[in-house]
Amino acid sequence: MRLKEMQKQLTRLTVVLLMAVAAASQALPGCPNSCGSVSSIPYPFGVGNSSVSGKNCFLESDLELTCRNSTLYHGDGNVEILNISLAGKIDMLSYISVVCKNKSLGKDETPGDYVSLTTPAFAISSEDNKFVTIGCDTYGYLSSFWNGTQSSTGCLSRCDTLESVERSMQRSGNCTGTGCCQVDIPPRMNNISVEAFSFNNFNSTSDFNDCGYSFVVKNGNYTFSVDHLSGAPVNNNMTTLVVEWSVGSDTCEASMLRADYACKSNYSECENSTFEYGYRCKCKQGFQGNAYLLDGCEDIPECSSNKHNCDSKDHCRETPGSFECFCPVGLIGNGTKEGGGCHPRQPADAFKKIVIGAGAGLIALFIGISWLYLMYQKRKSIKLKQKFFQQNGGIILRQQLSTEEDSSQTTTIFSAEQLKKATKNFDESLIIGKGGYGTVFKGVLSNNKVVAIKKSKIVDQSQVEQFINEVIILSQINHRNVVKLLGCCLETEVPLLVYEFVNNGTLYDYLHNQGQGVNVSWKTRLRIATEAAAALSYLHSEACIPIIHRDVKTANILLDDTYTAKVSDFGASRLVPIDHTEITTIVQGTLGYLDPEYMQSSQLTEKSDVYSFGVVLVELLTGEKAFSFSRAEEQRSLTVHFLCSLKEDRLFDVIQVGLLDEENQQEIMQVAILAARCLRLIGEERPSMKEVTMELEGIKLTKKDPGINTDKICNESQYLLRETQNSYEHGDTSSQQNTEYDSLREHEVIDFGNGR
C-alpha cells in the first residue's frame, strides 16, 4: 500500500514538474523568460538577443520588449507591460489624457494631452475595456486609424453643481453621464489615440472641477468617485488596459506558404486576427504550450491530471491529443462515468456477444451481396451500352471518323452519362419541343455550352449505315443559316443527336403564337425569307451530297437572338445522290406544306422543298397559318386562298394588316409572284432554290422605281395565276387536298418548340 501511495505522489510530482518546465520554456533558448513582476515572456515576444544563437528573441519588431529596472516595456518606449497571454491579450499601463483650466489666463483651458498607441499589431480589446470621460464640461475621443481612414467613438460628461453629481450617483449608480460617462469600445480599433476636450465652461464649476480626463481602462479596474472631479482619478496618471495582439500582417491562408510563417509546432493551428491584421497561433485541441516554438505544443496528460471522464484513472489510456476509457480483461462496459463504468462479466453477456456477432455477420453478408449485385448491374449496364453502340453503328462511325482528313469538322461522340448529366437525367421540365421524329431537350454540357439534345425514334437496323452516313454529312454542314449538328450518342437504344442551341424560338411562334407577328416589319420578314432560302439552296446544290429537307415550314425555321434564320429539324431529310430522284414508300411531311406532286407520285425531289418554301413565303405575307380548321372551308388551305385572291386581283386584301405601305408595295407584289411560282403543281415548272434565293436577294437590293410598269407586273401575275389555276384544275385540286389530309392523319408532325 505504501509503495502504491509513493507511486501516486511521484506521478503528481512529475506532472507538476512537466507543467513548470512548460511554463519556463515559453521563450526562445538563451532569451530572458521574465522581467520583474512579469513571470513569463512568451515567444513571439522577446527581450534583446539570444545568448545561444545571437538572433533576436522576438519574431518581429512590433513584438520587441525592453526590460529596464525590472520593468517590462514595449519596444524602447514607456508603455509598461504587466502581463502577456498566448491567448492573444496583453495587460499594459497607459497614460490618461488631461485637459485643465489655465488659471493665469482666466477661462481658457490648457490643450488636452494626446495619448496614442500606434502599433498596428495591437488593437484595443472591445470586450475587456471601457472608454471613460470625467469632468463637468468634458468630452473625449477614442480614434482609430486604418488604411488612411479614421473612425472614432467617445462620450460627453456634464454637471452644474457637486450636489447634482452626488444625487445622480445615489439614484443611478456610478458613471452614468453626470460628472462621468463611459461607453463600450467598438471592435477592430488599432493605431489608437485618446484626447480630452473642454467646453470652456469652468465658470459655474470652478469651485470643484478644474480638469477633465479621458482614458481607456480594463473592466473592473476603475470606480468613479465625486472626489475625482477635484483631483486625478487614478494614481500616477496611468490606467490598466487590455490590448489584443497578432503576428504578421496577412491572413493565415496567405502566410502558410511563407518562410516566416509563425506557427512552428507540429500540433499548432492558425486563426485569423479578430481585428483584421495578421494572425495568431494556438495548440490544437488536446495539446498545450507555445505554438510559436518548434516543439512548443505538448500532449495534455488527461489521465494523470484528472482531466478525463473515465470511472477510474486506471481505466484511462492516453492518446495523441486526447484519451480513451477502457475496461481491463475480465470486466465489461465502456469505462466512462456516464456509461456506468466497468463491471464483472455476466453469463448472459456471452449470449449477447453471439447474437451481436451473428447480427454483424448477417449485415456484412447483406452488404457483400448488395455490392456484388451493384457490380453485376454496372457490368450489365456497360454491356448494354456496348450493345447499343454497335447496334446503332458506333463502330462504323468511329472507322469513318478516323479516315476524315478535316479534323475541324469531326463529329463528337458523346457518352450516355454526359448527356444524362447535361439534361438532369432527361428531366421533363427541360423539354423544349416534341415532334413526329423525336423529343428535344435543352442541355448544358460540362464546358457550360448550351445545346439541344434530340431523342429520336427507333432507328431501322437495316438503315444503320445510311443513318451513320447522314450523321457525318450533316455534321459537316457549316452554314450560318443551318442549325449545326455537333455530334451524337449511340450508347442508348434510341440514338441521341446533339445540335447547337438557338434561343429565340421559331418563326411560327413569332408569327402566330406570341402576338408579335404584326410587329415583325416587312424588311425583317424579307431578310428571314432570304436567309432560309439561302440555307435550302446550300443543302440542295452546295453540300457534298444533296440534301432534301422534306419538312420545310415556319416551325422548322429557328431565330437566334439577332433574329437570324436557321433551318432546323432534319428528321425527315434524305441524302440524294446527284441526278437521282428518291422514291419513298411513305409520304412524310406537315399538313398544308406538302407538295401535291410528291403526294401523288411518292417521288421526292428538291422541288418538293421549293413548294413548301412557297407556303412559308405566303405565311410571311399573310400572317396566317398554312392550314386551319378554324377558317371557312374554302379558306382552310392558305395556298388555295392566296392563289385565288391573287387571281381575282385581291392580293392586298390577304396581306397582313399593318404590313403594307407605299414603299414596300412593289416588293410585296414581287414576293407574292415568286411564291405563286413556287406553288405550281408541276415540279419542273417551279424555280430551283438557288433561283429563289437570287430573286429574293434582288428584291432586297432593288429600290422603289417610280418608272416601273405596275401593269406589267399585274399582267405577269395574271398569266402566272392562269397557268397555276389550269394545273390545279387538271390535277383535281380538291381530290388532292383530301388525299393530303388523309395521308397525314398518322404522320402529321407536331411543331418543335424553342431552341431545337
For the annotated catalytic residues, the residue numbers are 551
- 66 beta partners: 73
Cell 499594459 locates to 92
* Strands 192-198 and 97-100, sheet pairing: unpaired
In whole angstroms, how far apart are CA 5 and each of 314, 316, 596?
A: 14, 19, 114
- 138 beta partners: 157, 198
- 242 beta partners: 91
Q: Environment class of residue 433 by beta-carbon count within 10 Å: exposed (0-12), middle (13-18) or buried (19+)?
A: buried
Q: How far is CA 528 from the centre of its chain?
A: 37
Q: How far is CA 22 from the centre of its chain?
A: 48
* Strands 412-413 and 485-489, sheet pairing: parallel
Q: Which amino acid is at 691?
A: E
Q: Is 484 annotated as a binding residue?
A: no
Phi, psi of 218 (to 5 degrees): -65, 140
- Give buried/exposed letters for 185-198 (b at 16+ CB in 10 A, else e): beebbbbbbbbbbb
C-alpha cell at 3: 509503495
**SS3 assignment, position 449:** coil
The C-alpha atoms of residue 114 and residue 714 are separated, in whole angstroms, by: 101
Cell 483650466 locates to 101
**SS3 assignment, position 530:** helix
Q: CA nearest 116: which of 175, 189, 221, 212?
A: 189
Q: How far is CA 355 from the centre of its chain?
A: 51
Q: Where is the binding site for ATP, in residues?
A: 455
